[in-house]
Structure formats: C-alpha cells, structure tokens
C-alpha cells in the first residue's frame, strides 16, 4: 500500500469517527474549586465603541486555573515537576476508557480498583476517566448542587493511588470537584458537619472511623501529592457527553494551554470512537 493510499484510508476512517465532548461549559457562573478565584470576563472594547476603542469586540479575562474542566499539572503540588506547557503533546492523547460507576456511588462513597475493573476493560498506560455520576450536580445542570458537587462527591479508597501507579496510567479524569475524596482535602476542616456526616456513614458501613482508614499523614491530597511526582496527573470537572461512553474504550485527548509557567490549565477534553 502506498503512502497516499494509507493517508486516504486514514482520512476515510476518521470521517466516520464520532467526536464526543467531555468538557463542562465555562461561564462566569462556573464555580471554581472552593477558595480559588472564579472566572471574570470583561469587555474592553465593543464594535460600536466603548472604553478603549471601537470596531471589534475585545475581552479581558481573569481567572485561576481551577475553574471548569481543567488539568492539574505536576507543579500544582510538586515543585520540581513539569509545567503544563512542558509536557509533550503525546502525553495528553491516547487510548483509554470511560468507566461508569454512577449507578453504584452516592454521597461520600469510595470506589476501588476492583469496582472499575469489573465495569470496563482497563489496560496499563491507559487514560482513565471515571464517571461517578456527580456531573449531574454541576453548576449548569437541572440538579445543580454546588455543595454536593464539591464537598460530598465520592473518592478513591485506600489502595487506589498505588493501583494507579502500578498501572502507569497516562492521566485520570473525574466528573466531580477533585480526584481526591473531599474529606481527604482541606474541605474536611472547612465543613466539620459534613466531615462528621461522612465519618458516620463510613463507620456504619465498615466499622472504621475516617481517620482510622485514612490517616491524614498518608492520605491528605494523596492523588495529588503521591502521584504527581510519578507524572500521573488528572483532570477535574469532566462532563459533557460522558454518559454516552459508559464503559467503552476510545481514543481520548486533553488540550490544555501550552503555558510554560502554568501549574494547571483549563482545557478541552474530547474522545473519538467509530460510529
């Protein structure tokens, strides 16, 4: 087969591939991760003329990097890691799977490697996106619940981070506020009533209190602190058409800004799959 015919076959195949958008909508109403700066959008000129000029619409934006769908970069928690713009493009794109646990998870629940592997074909080196079901509480959804979305979402069980390291995943994606359980972040201190609620639920199910199962010196922000030095980062606030790819393998790509100084970046996440 000649190079030209290979190209034509490739282009023909790609013309029949469906593109899925796994990105949350972005707006000044999109809440950032708690305590972070929200998005601000301001016109500095308008077509008819305003402020500094006329003839075109022009905007200035100001934001933290943790608003809407975004990729946490290595230097977000690891000083000697790579910035977002210094990660080669091929590390953001590759084969992966969207694992749907939405029917099994509720407030404060834990997920395990076994739960994911029972649902989908997960392979070493994959990009793994986890559908916890909590994208339905995102800011622009009919069931929008900001407190539940950021402070009550499910999170990984005790051995999850070691499994991710063993599997050498390219990156992870979550359809909720964080890849860590909210009660293993600073949120537990900001919302003591919610922490007591989560602790009570865990004890009723397992006979263990939260700090017995998750001692802070080991599990505080473990998905960030332990995995980022291993170059296993993650995207948070994934959403969009995530429900349409339940437990399916596909080609997945994230497209953060090529910012050399960026510790993290808002990004577009898409998946490709043949019709």
- Give the mean pLDDT of 247-273: 98
pLDDT(54) > 80: no
Nearest to 119 by CA among 270, 7, 249: 249
pLDDT of residue 261: 97
pLDDT of residue 173: 98
Q: Cα(first)–Cα(last) distance of the chain, in Å?
A: 25
pLDDT band for position 55 (50/70/90)? confident
User: CA-CA distances (angstroms) from residue 257 to 56, 127, 175, 267?
Assistant: 25, 19, 20, 7
pLDDT(208) > 90: yes
- Give the mean pLDDT of 179-190: 97
- Give the mean pLDDT of 190-194: 97
How distant is the alpha carbon of residue 156 from its chain centre? 14
What distance in Å separates the CA atoms of residue 124 and residue 116, rounded to the nearest whole number? 13
pLDDT of residue 252: 98
pLDDT of residue 49: 85
- Give the mean pLDDT of 243-252: 98
What distance in Å separates the CA atoms of residue 250 and residue 233, rounded to the nearest whole number? 19
Segments forming the whole domain that contains residue 148: 3-274
pLDDT of residue 98: 98
DSSP string computed for 189-254: HH-HHHHHHHHHHHHHHHS--HHHHS-HHHHTTHHHHTTGGGT-EEEESB-TTGGGGTTEEEEEEE
Give the count of beta carbons closer than 10 Å to the beta carbon of residue 102.
18
Token reading at 236? 């948070």
Task: Say what percent of the chain tops pLDDT 90.
Answer: 93
pLDDT of residue 175: 98
Q: What one-character DSSP code corresponds to residue 143?
A: T
- Give the mean pLDDT of 119-127: 98
pLDDT(1) > 90: no
Strands 70-72 and 233-236: antiparallel
pLDDT(130) > 90: yes
pLDDT of residue 25: 97
pLDDT averaged over the chain? Answer: 96
Token reading at 260? 């050399």
- Give the mean pLDDT of 163-185: 98
- Give the mean pLDDT of 41-61: 87
What distance in Å separates the CA atoms of residue 81 and residue 152, rounded to the nearest whole number? 30
How distant is the alpha carbon of residue 5 from its chain centre? 38
**Number of domains making up the chain:** 1
Q: What one-character DSSP code corresponds to residue 140?
A: T
What CATH number does residue 236 fall under?
Answer: 3.50.30.50
pLDDT(47) > 80: yes
What distance in Å separates the CA atoms of residue 88 and residue 74, rounded to the nearest whole number? 13
What distance in Å separates the CA atoms of residue 21 and residue 197, rounded to the nearest whole number? 35
Token reading at 165? 């390291």
pLDDT of residue 77: 96
pLDDT(100) > 90: yes
């Amino acid at each position: 087969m000649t190079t030209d015919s290979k190209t034509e076959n490739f282009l023909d195949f790609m013309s029949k591939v469906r593109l899925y958008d796994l990105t949350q909508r972005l707006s000044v109403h999109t809440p950032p991760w708690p305590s972070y700066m929200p998005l601000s959008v301001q016109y500095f000129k308008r077509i008819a003329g305003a402020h500094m000029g006329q003839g075109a619409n022009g905007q200035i934006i100001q934001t933290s990097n943790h608003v809407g769908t975004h990729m946490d970069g290595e230097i977000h928690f690891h000083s000697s890691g790579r910035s977002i713009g210094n990660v080669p493009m091929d590390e953001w794109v590759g084969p992966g799977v969207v694992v749907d646990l939405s029917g099994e998870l509720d407030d404060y629940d834990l997920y395990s490697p076994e739960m994911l592997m029972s649902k989908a074909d997960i392979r070493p080196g994959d990009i793994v996106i986890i559908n916890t079901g909590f994208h339905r509480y995102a800011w622009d959804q009919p069931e929008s619940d900001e407190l539940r979305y950021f402070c009550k979402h499910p999170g990984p069980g005790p051995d999850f981070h070691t499994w991710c390291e063993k599997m050498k995943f390219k990156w992870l994606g979550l359809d909720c506020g964080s890849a860590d359980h909210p009660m293993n972040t600073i949120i537990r201190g900001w919302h003591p009533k919610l922490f007591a609620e989560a602790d009570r639920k865990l004890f009723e199910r397992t006979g263990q209190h939260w700090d017995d199962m998750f001692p802070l010196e080991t599990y505080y922000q473990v998905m960030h602190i332990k995995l980022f030095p291993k170059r296993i980062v993650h995207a948070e606030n994934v959403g969009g058409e995530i429900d349409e790819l339940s437990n399916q393998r596909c080609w997945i790509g994230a497209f953060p800004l090529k910012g050399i100084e960026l510790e993290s970046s808002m990004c577009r996440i898409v998946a490709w799959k043949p019709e």
